[in-house]
């Protein structure tokens, strides 16, 4: 198993303020000092000391809503899958237009991810806003991001953001509607990339994604070396994890803003000091949770040559193959640890109660 070596400081005892290189017009503030300044500033200004929270959930659909091998991918596959008892029950918890959206996919695996995404949104509205399941309505704000509005024309009561890849669906949200949130999950499967990397070389492979990254990021990704000596496929696996760490952070940040990966400023925004969170198998012991790996939150954000210091970001490893990036538009929010949900105990129970 690869050991990427670097261990970030605990996210429970510091703010995610980035202490980048001092510049002539800006002195970097140590994280330890920020922990003192922010609470003090709130007390001086007479602001409420209650810190808004960002909740984060994950749901693995790998073993959910099974179907027989006789159902193959195709135009009618999702509709055949929908007739299976477990899938039918879950789909019945959604309004008709959302069911239709779930069943439009060619591959059943995509329908399962879409179904889980919709269920998590309804669960968030019901559980966090104390709304009966039958009254949960998923709306869109002015940036077309999903949110909850109690009624048409009302102020937004909750923002949330969803991402899925592989078999994992994640949601991050907050009842503080002023907070903007972006989340992205990536499943790292080196077998899908290694063949192409061997064929064209690492530099050429990375360069195909240069539209997404700044020139400096491309150079950093190409030249990055793992902290321990590796060779062959092990070296490229480490480099791929570092590449996807960059990708995941950028996706989360862009989703927080409500823009797509074709945002005109995309190449003017870059991440520095990107660390690769160690996988769960590298950090867990018999006494610790084997699902969640390391959390890294010391990344620096630079946009148009200026350091962005009002955004809090984390990169979390999940099991051995996943990384989850979270971007929050304020330093004043507490980002709660991810919770792996149980479909029946959490989601179905809430649906049956309402």
Q: Mean pLDDT across the chain, nearest whole number? A: 86
- What pLDDT is stored for residue 41 in this prediction? 42
Q: Report the DSSP beta bridge partners of residue 59.
A: 169
- What pLDDT is stored for residue 151 in this prediction? 72
User: 30-44, 167-181, 259-273, 281-295 — which is least confidently predicted?
Assistant: 30-44
Query: How far, in Å, CA of 113 to CA of 101, rounded?
Result: 12
**What tokens does 166 get?**
């592989």
* 23: Cα within 13 Å, side-chain hemisphere: 8
What are the φ and ψ backbone dihedral angles of 252, each rounded to 5 degrees? -60, -45
Say whether pLDDT at 267 is over 80. Answer: yes
CA distances from 194 to 230, 236, 242 (A): 15, 7, 14
Q: Helix (H, G, I), strand (E, B), or coil: what is residue 238? A: helix
Query: How far, in Å, CA of 150 to CA of 137, rounded?
Result: 8
- What pLDDT is stored for residue 146 in this prediction? 86
Q: Which tens digits make up the pLDDT trace of 143-195?
A: 888 888 877 666 678 899 999 999 999 999 999 989 999 999 999 999 889 99
- The pTM score is 0.84
Say whether pLDDT at 25 is over 60. Answer: no
Q: What is the 8-class DSSP label of residue 47?
A: -
Integer distance in angstroms from the first to the last C-alpha of the chain? 46
Pairing of strands 292-296, 312-318: antiparallel
**Residue 286 confidence class, pLDDT cut points 50, 70, 90:** low
Contact 340, 60 (CB under 8 A): yes
């Amino acid at each position: 198993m690869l050991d990427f070596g670097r261990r970030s400081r605990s996210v429970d005892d510091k703010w995610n303020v980035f202490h980048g290189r001092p510049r002539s017009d800006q002195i970097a503030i140590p994280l330890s000092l920020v922990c003192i300044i922010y609470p003090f500033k709130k007390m001086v200004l007479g602001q409420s000391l209650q810190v808004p929270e960002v909740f984060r959930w994950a749901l693995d659909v790998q073993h959910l809503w099974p179907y027989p091998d006789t159902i193959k991918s195709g135009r009618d596959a999702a509709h055949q899958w929908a007739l299976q008892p477990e899938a039918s029950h879950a789909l019945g918890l959604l309004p008709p237009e959302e069911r239709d959206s779930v069943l439009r996919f060619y591959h059943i695996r995509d329908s399962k991810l879409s179904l889980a995404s919709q269920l998590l949104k309804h669960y968030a509205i019901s559980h966090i806003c104390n709304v009966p399941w039958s009254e949960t309505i998923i709306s869109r704000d002015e940036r077309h991001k999903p949110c909850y509005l109690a009624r048409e024309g009302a102020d937004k009561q909750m923002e949330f953001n969803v991402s899925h890849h592989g078999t994992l669906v994640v949601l991050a949200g907050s009842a503080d509607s002023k907070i903007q949130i972006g989340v992205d999950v990536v499943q790292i499967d080196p077998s899908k990339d290694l063949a192409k990397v061997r064929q064209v070389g690492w530099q050429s492979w990375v360069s195909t994604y240069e539209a997404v990254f700044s020139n400096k990021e491309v150079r950093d990704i190409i030249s990055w070396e793992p902290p321990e000596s590796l060779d062959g496929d092990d070296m490229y696996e480490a480099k791929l994890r570092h590449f996807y760490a960059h990708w995941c952070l950028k996706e989360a940040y862009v989703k927080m803003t409500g823009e797509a990966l074709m945002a005109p400023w995309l190449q003017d925004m870059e991440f520095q000091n990107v660390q690769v969170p160690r996988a769960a198998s590298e950090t867990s012991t018999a006494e610790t949770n084997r699902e969640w790996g390391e959390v890294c939150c010391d990344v620096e954000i630079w946009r148009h040559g200026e350091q962005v210091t009002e955004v809090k970001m984390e990169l979390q490893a999940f099991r051995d193959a996943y990384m989850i990036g979270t971007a929050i538009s304020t330093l004043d929010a507490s980002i709660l640890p991810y919770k792996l949900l149980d479909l029946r105990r959490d989601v179905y129970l809430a649906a049956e109660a309402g």
